[in-house]
């Protein structure tokens, strides 16, 4: 996400930091490079011009030029202005005054609309809501069946009707069904097309009239760049949008749509899709995204991910093991599996301040392959060996290597990694351990 842009802007600021005091010429050259990086990232030309003009105006003050750390102040200014073009503050879902609240998703085929419906319903349930998915896309083959399957996987109810029933009628029936189930949110999947046409827009208007939604969200593929901005403008003009969901952000190395769409259309981004899994949907935080672009990390999102996957009972057990120094290889494997639930390692590393460049150098899938190797090695050990790794001698290493399809050197490497983790745990006194684990619960 934003890989190319982040790398180029990082290089600009690195050169700027090496100059000490800054002149107007230094700032002009840095902003010229930033302008090129933004345009290459497919950011709207007017947005780029306005952005660099504001940064230049704020950077040429005596406060910056006469500072002992001018480069840091310029980065701070760029960060603040980037937050502004991304929307300023987080834009949350607005519920209706009287339940059930109705949320209508619109968009073109191929943007991931149906899958996003399920992701959004899961997000609502995790937020303490009771969602009902509504299959109102009667045009695309298998759209209804797809939503029903996703609903079963997530244990979220789905309202579907015969394909001969019109989408507006399906929506009015779904409202009644939501009241029967005491569902307080309807998440409605509507019809899409391969392109925008008059018939499509007329249908969207009719569905909106029947549904009376408090939220109309456009699902748009971030990888289409400025075409995503054009689609948002056209949908907003005809249907009236309250927000946007940018999908496939994990595959968008440029980021032009995310950096342009709010400034051009005035419509806030409410969520971003960062993968194919049903939990790969994040609320959009402009300040956190700006920090990621500038290589500052995103520790708040990282902590929130940890909170979602960390089992409270296991956390208490782990706290006890830390206090009594009984952390073993089974615990080591369990912690690695908990981390895997948080997402790809490259995504997690880029959230840690200063490590975004390391995330870009990781080969795709490297974390998954390494974890499978670790699992195979530990599962090839006896229960006694997992509890007491110090007993693993040369002959045991060879046996474990044969059983796991690895080498004795791989066993040595794992045991060394485990001892380092064990040493780190022992260095934590019980108070610090409790504080760390309570933060993750």
| Residues 165 and 183 placed together within one structural domain of the fold | yes
Q: Are strands 269-273 and 281-283 parallel, antiparallel or unpaired?
A: antiparallel
3-state secondary structure of 106: strand
3-state helix vs strand vs coil in the chain, percent to 5: 60, 10, 30
Q: CATH number of the domain that 397 lies in?
A: 1.10.260.30
| Residues 255 and 119 placed together within one structural domain of the fold | yes
Q: Which two tokens stand for residue 87?
A: 């929307």
Using the structure block, give the residue that is written with the tokens 């927000």: 243
Q: Which two tokens stand for residue 260?
A: 């342009």
Residues near 425 by beta carbon (within 8 Å), at least 6 away in sequence: 322, 325, 327, 433
Flag whether 297 is in a domain: no
Flag whether 94 is in a domain: no
Flag whether 96 is in a domain: no
Q: Are strands 243-247 and 215-221 parallel, antiparallel or unpaired?
A: parallel
Flag whether 279 is in a domain: yes
**Contact status, residue 329 vs residue 378, Cβ threshold 8 Å:** yes
| Residues 125 and 252 placed together within one structural domain of the fold | yes
Domain count, the chain: 3
Flag whether 239 is in a domain: yes
| Residues 285 and 332 placed together within one structural domain of the fold | no
Last residue of a domain, one of 260, 292, 324: 292
Q: CATH number of the domain that 268 lies in?
A: 3.40.50.300
Flag whether 176 is in a domain: yes
CA nearest to 38, candidates 25, 51, 19, 27: 51
| Residues 282 and 356 placed together within one structural domain of the fold | no
Using the structure block, give the residue that is written with the tokens 């993968």: 275
Query: For 232, how many CA atoms within 13 A lie in the half-sphere containing its CB?
Result: 29
**Contact status, residue 267 vs residue 230, Cβ threshold 8 Å:** no
Give me the phi and psi of 45, to 5 degrees please.
Answer: -60, -45
Q: Which two tokens stand for residue 347?
A: 């995504």
For residues 441 and 433, give the distance between their C-alpha atoms in angstroms, rounded to a whole number. 12
**Contact status, residue 352 vs residue 296, Cβ threshold 8 Å:** no
* Residues of the chain where predicted confidence (pLDDT) is lower than 70: 1, 253, 296-327, 335-368, 421-441
Confidence (pLDDT) at 218: 94
Confidence (pLDDT) at 433: 44
Report the length, in residues, of the chain.
Answer: 441
Last residue of a domain, one of 86, 113, 147: 86
**Contact status, residue 332 vs residue 363, Cβ threshold 8 Å:** no
For residues 311 and 307, give the distance between their C-alpha atoms in angstroms, rounded to a whole number. 8
Q: Which two tokens stand for residue 220?
A: 């748009």
| Residues 42 and 151 placed together within one structural domain of the fold | no
Q: Tell whether pTM > 0.75.
A: no
| Residues 376 and 405 placed together within one structural domain of the fold | yes
Confidence (pLDDT) at 161: 87
| Residues 349 and 284 placed together within one structural domain of the fold | no
**426 C-beta neighbours (distance < 10 Å), count:** 11
Flag whether 388 is in a domain: yes
Q: CATH number of the domain that 28 lies in?
A: 1.20.120.140
Last residue of a domain, one of 268, 292, 316: 292
Confidence (pLDDT) at 205: 92
3-state secondary structure of 406: coil
For residues 243 and 228, give the distance between their C-alpha atoms in angstroms, rounded to a whole number. 13
**Contact status, residue 110 vs residue 219, Cβ threshold 8 Å:** no
Confidence (pLDDT) at 227: 87
203: part of which helix (H) or strand (E)? helix 198-211
User: Across the chain, how many H-helices and E-strands are there?
Assistant: 22, 8
Flag whether 204 is in a domain: yes
| Residues 247 and 328 placed together within one structural domain of the fold | no
The range of the structural domain enclosing residue 140 comes to 101-292
For residues 387 and 406, give the distance between their C-alpha atoms in angstroms, rounded to a whole number. 21
| Residues 119 and 231 placed together within one structural domain of the fold | yes
Contacts by residues 60-63 (CB-CB < 8 Å, ≥ 24 positions apart): 60/24, 60/27
Confidence (pLDDT) at 339: 65
- For 229-296, the DSSP string reads HHHHHHHHHHT--SEEEEE-GGG-SS-HHHHHHHHHH-PPEEEEE-SSSTT-EEE--HHHHHHHHTT-
The model's pLDDT over 190-208, given as tens digits with 9 standing for 90+, comes to 988 878 888 888 889 999 9
| Residues 243 and 118 placed together within one structural domain of the fold | yes
| Residues 45 and 114 placed together within one structural domain of the fold | no
């Amino acid at each position: 996400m934003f890989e190319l842009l982040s790398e180029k802007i990082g290089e600009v600021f690195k050169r700027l930091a090496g100059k000490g005091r800054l002149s107007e010429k230094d700032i002009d050259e840095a902003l010229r490079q930033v302008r090129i990086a933004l345009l290459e990232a497919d950011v709207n030309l007017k947005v780029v011009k306005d952005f660099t003009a504001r940064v230049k105006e704020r950077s040429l003050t005596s406060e910056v030029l006469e500072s002992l750390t001018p480069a840091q102040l310029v980065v701070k200014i760029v960060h603040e202005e980037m937050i502004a073009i991304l929307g300023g503050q987080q834009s949350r879902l607005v519920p209706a005054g009287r339940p059930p609240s109705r949320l209508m998703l619109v968009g073109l085929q191929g943007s991931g609309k149906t899958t996003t419906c399920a992701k959004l319903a899961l997000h609502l349930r995790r937020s303490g809501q009771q969602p009902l998915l509504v299959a109102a896309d009667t045009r695309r083959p298998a759209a209804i069946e797809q939503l029903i399957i996703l609903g079963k996987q997530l244990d979220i109810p789905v309202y579907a009707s015969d394909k001969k029933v019109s989408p507006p009628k399906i929506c009015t029936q779904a409202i009644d069904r939501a009241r029967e189930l005491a569902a307080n949110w309807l998440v409605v999947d509507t019809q899409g097309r391969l392109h925008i046409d008059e018939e499509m827009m007329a249908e969207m208007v009719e569905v909106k009239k029947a549904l009376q939604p408090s939220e109309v969200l456009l699902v748009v593929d971030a990888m289409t760049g400025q075409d995503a901005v054009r689609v948002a403008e056209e949908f907003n003009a005809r249907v009236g949008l309250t927000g946007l969901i940018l999908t496939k952000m994990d595959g968008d190395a440029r980021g032009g749509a995310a950096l342009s769409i709010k400034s051009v259309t005035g419509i806030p981004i409410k969520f971003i899709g960062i993968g194919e899994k049903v939990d790969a949907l994040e609320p959009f935080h402009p300040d956190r995204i700006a920090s990621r672009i500038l290589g500052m990390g995103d520790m708040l999102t990282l902590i929130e991910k940890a909170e979602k996957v960390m089992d409270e009972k296991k956390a208490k057990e782990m706290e006890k093991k830390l206090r009594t120094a009984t952390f073993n290889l089974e615990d080591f494997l369990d912690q690695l599996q908990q981390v895997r639930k948080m997402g790809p390692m490259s995504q997690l590393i880029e959230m840690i301040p200063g490590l975004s460049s390391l995330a870009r150098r990781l080969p795709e899938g490297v974390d998954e392959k390494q974890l499978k190797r670790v699992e195979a090695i530990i599962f090839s050990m006896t229960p006694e060996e997992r509890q007491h790794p110090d007993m693993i001698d040369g002959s045991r290493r060879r046996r474990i290597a044969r059983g796991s399809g690895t080498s004795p050197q791989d066993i040595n490497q794992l045991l060394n990694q485990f001892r380092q983790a064990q040493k780190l745990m022992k260095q934590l006194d019980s108070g610090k351990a409790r504080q760390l684990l309570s933060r993750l619960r």
